[in-house]
Structure 1
Amino acid sequence: MLTFIGLGLFDEQDISLKGLKAVQSADLVYLEFYTSYLMGTTIEKMEELYGKPIIRLMREDVEQNPDWLENAKTKNVVFLTGGDTMASTTHIDLRIRAKDSGIETRLIHGASITSAIFGLSGLQNYRFGKSVSIPFPYVSSRGNRVVTETPYDTIKFNQENGLHTLVFLDINSEHGYMTVQEGLSLLLEIEEKRQEGVMTERIAVGIARAGSNDVCVKADFADNIDAFELGGPLQILVIPGNLHFIEAEALVKLAGAPECLLQEFSES
Structure 2
Amino acid sequence: MFYLIGLGLGDLKDITVKGLEIVKQCSRVYLEMYTSILGCSLEDMQEFYGRPLLLADRDLVEQGADEILAGAGESDVALLVVGDPFGATTHTDFILRAKEKNIPYKVIHNASIMNAVGCCGLQLYKFGETVSIPYWDETWKPDSFYDKIKLNRLHNMHTLCLLDIKVKEPTPESLMRKRKEYMPPRFMTVAEAAHQLLSIVEKKDSLEKNTVLNEQSLCVGLARVGQESQQIAVGTLLEMRSTDLGGPLHSLIIPAKEMHPLEVEFLQQYAPSIKLDDYNH
Q: TM-score, normalised by structure 2?
A: 0.87
2:94 counterpart of 1:94: yes
| Secondary structure of the corresponding residue to residue 228 of structure 1 | coil
CA distance in 1, matches of 2:274, 2:267: 11
**Residue by residue, what CA displacement relative to the aligned partner does 1:87-109 show, whole Å, maximum 9, x if unpaired?**
11111111111111110010111
Does the CA-based 8 Å contact 2:128-2:159 persist in structure 1?
yes
Report what 1:257 is aligned to. 271
Does the CA-based 8 Å contact 1:152-1:198 persist in structure 2?
no
Distance 1:90 1:265, change over 3 A: closer
**Residue by residue, what CA displacement relative to the aligned partner does 1:196-216 show, whole Å, maximum 9, x if unpaired?**
233312100001111111110
**Residue by residue, what CA displacement relative to the aligned partner does 1:10-52 show, whole Å, maximum 9, x if unpaired?**
21111111111110111110111111110x2111111100011
CA distance in 1, matches of 2:243, 2:61: 35
CA distance in 1, matches of 2:116, 2:68: 32
Report what 1:80 is aligned to. 80
CA distance in 2, matches of 1:257, 1:188: 21
| Pairs aligned (count) | 258
Equivalent of residue 262 in structure 2, options 229, 246, 263: 246
Distance 1:149 1:70, change over 3 A: same
Between 230-239 and 55-64, the greater mean CA deviation after superposition: 55-64
Displaced runs of 4 or more, over 4 A: none
- Within a 5 Å distance, the mapping from 1:141-220 to structure 2 comes to 145-173=139-167, 174=183, 176-195=186-205, 196-200=210-214, 201-220=216-235
In the alignment, structure 1 segments of 5+ residues that lack a partner are 140-144
CA distance in 2, matches of 1:226, 1:98: 44
Equivalent of residue 240 in structure 2, options 198, 213, 225: 225
| Secondary structure of the corresponding residue to residue 199 of structure 1 | coil
Does the CA-based 8 Å contact 1:134-1:169 persist in structure 2?
yes
Report what 1:49 is aligned to. 48
Note the aligned Cα RMSD (angstroms): 1.6
Does the CA-based 8 Å contact 1:220-1:258 persist in structure 2?
no
| Secondary structure of the corresponding residue to residue 223 of structure 1 | helix
Q: How many percent of aligned residue pairs carry the same amino acid?
A: 40
CA distance in 2, matches of 1:9, 1:128: 20
CA distance in 1, matches of 2:244, 2:43: 30
Distance 1:261 1:93, change over 3 A: farther
Q: What letter matches 2:4 in structure 1?
A: F
CA distance in 2, matches of 1:137, 1:197: 24
TM superposition shift of 1:263? 3.1
Q: What letter matches 1:18 in structure 2?
A: K
Between 194-203 and 105-114, the greater mean CA deviation after superposition: 194-203
Does the CA-based 8 Å contact 2:158-2:253 persist in structure 1?
yes
Does the CA-based 8 Å contact 1:63-1:94 persist in structure 2?
no
Q: What letter matches 1:131 in structure 2?
A: T
CA distance in 2, matches of 1:79, 1:214: 27
Does the CA-based 8 Å contact 1:131-1:166 persist in structure 2?
yes
CA distance in 2, matches of 1:233, 1:90: 21
| Secondary structure of the corresponding residue to residue 44 of structure 2 | helix
Report what 1:123 is aligned to. 122
Q: What letter matches 1:125 in structure 2?
A: L
TM superposition shift of 1:227? 5.7
TM superposition shift of 1:127? 0.3
Q: What letter matches 1:23 in structure 2?
A: V
Report what 2:3 is aligned to. 3
CA distance in 1, matches of 2:3, 2:159: 31
In the alignment, structure 2 segments of 5+ residues that lack a partner are 168-182
Does the CA-based 8 Å contact 2:8-2:110 persist in structure 1?
yes
TM superposition shift of 1:78? 0.8
TM superposition shift of 1:265? 6.8
Q: TM-score, normalised by structure 1?
A: 0.92
TM superposition shift of 1:60? 2.1
